[in-house]
């Protein structure tokens, strides 16, 4: 198997910069666990210079305009990155993907935080009537909410609020652009009245 392709595959699947030492470790470990019984004299040996040279070839390869991504040397390692010209498209694709994955509980918790911020987890749970641990964790992971400090209440619990990414995610300039709670109440009353008339 072409060593250059092996190295490219290792860098491709990593979400962190891959160092020369790590690649050598992977190569040796894979060789040891291989189903083939290689004689000691047939075992391949890898030098840092050889691996680094092949990595630099990858860097050169992906400089071509035919690729939307590139390999960059960062933090003492190598990693794939999307080229800057494609950022707007990748960003939009990520936004669309993340929107589909927000669960009902996460959306409910996010709405409470948006309208009552800054708010503690206990306060959000009091409003929802159920635990918000998992929902808040997911919202933090997606950078839709952030920790803004601590409450003066006993135990000094964390305070949560919407993040700058929240505005971008929902396409608004400011939290004040959110529909007013009164609008929701009026809509709920209208729907209730319509249901009564239909019955």
> Is residue 190's pLDDT more than 80?
no
Residues 121, 100: Cα–Cα separation, whole Å = 24
> Is residue 177's pLDDT more than 70?
yes
Q: Could you give the percent of the chain with pLDDT greater than 90?
A: 46
DSSP bridge partners of 159: 120, 149
Confidence category of residue 76, pLDDT binned at 50, 70, 90: confident
> Is residue 151's pLDDT more than 70?
yes
Prediction pTM value: 0.49
> Is residue 49's pLDDT more than 50?
yes
For each of the domains in the chain, give its residue range(s) and CATH number, in order of start: 3-86 (1.10.10.10), 102-198 (1.10.10.10)
> Is residue 176's pLDDT more than 50?
yes
| Mean pLDDT score of the chain | 83
Residues 88, 142: Cα–Cα separation, whole Å = 18
Q: Which of 18-32, 94-108, 179-193 has the lowest mean pLDDT?
A: 179-193
Once rounded to an integer, what is the mean pLDDT over residues 100-124?
88
What is the pLDDT at residue 135?
A: 92
Once rounded to an integer, what is the mean pLDDT over residues 157-162?
94
What is the pLDDT at residue 188?
A: 47
Instruction: Tell me which H or E stretch contains 79.
Output: strand 77-82
Query: Which has more pLDDT, 199 or 149?
Result: 149
Instruction: Tell me which H or E stretch contains 77.
Output: strand 77-82
Grouping H, G, I as helix, E, B as strand and the rest as coil, residue 164 is: helix
Q: What distance separates the 2 farthest-apart alpha carbons in the chain?
A: 88
Once rounded to an integer, what is the mean pLDDT over residues 128-132?
90
Q: Could you give the percent of the chain with pLDDT greater than 70?
A: 83
Confidence category of residue 41, pLDDT binned at 50, 70, 90: very low
Helices (H), the chain: 3-13, 20-33, 48-61, 87-101, 104-116, 121-128, 133-141, 164-170, 181-198
Among 129, 130, 124, 131, CA closest to 145: 124
Confidence category of residue 102, pLDDT binned at 50, 70, 90: confident
> Is residue 38's pLDDT more than 90?
no
């Amino acid at each position: 198997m072409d060593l250059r392709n092996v190295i490219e595959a290792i860098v491709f699947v990593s979400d962190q910069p891959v160092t020369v030492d790590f690649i050598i470790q992977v190569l040796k470990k894979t060789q040891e666990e291989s189903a083939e019984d290689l004689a000691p004299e047939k075992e391949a040996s890898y030098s840092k210079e050889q691996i680094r040279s092949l990595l630099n070839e990858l860097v050169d390869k992906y400089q071509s305009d035919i690729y939307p991504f590139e390999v960059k040397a960062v933090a003492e390692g190598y990693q794939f990155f999307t080229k800057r010209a494609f950022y707007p498209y990748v960003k939009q694709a990520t936004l669309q993907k993340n929107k589909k994955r927000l669960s009902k509980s996460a959306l409910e918790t996010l709405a409470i935080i948006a309208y009552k911020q800054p708010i503690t987890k206990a306060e959000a749970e009091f409003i929802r009537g159920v635990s918000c641990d998992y929902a808040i964790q997911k919202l933090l992971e997606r950078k839709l909410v952030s920790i803004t400090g601590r409450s003066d209440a006993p135990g000094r619990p964390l305070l949560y609020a919407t993040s700058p990414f929240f505005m971008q995610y929902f396409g608004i300039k400011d939290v004040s652009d959110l529909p007013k709670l009164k609008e929701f109440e009026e809509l709920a009353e209208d729907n209730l009245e319509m249901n009564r008339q239909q019955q």
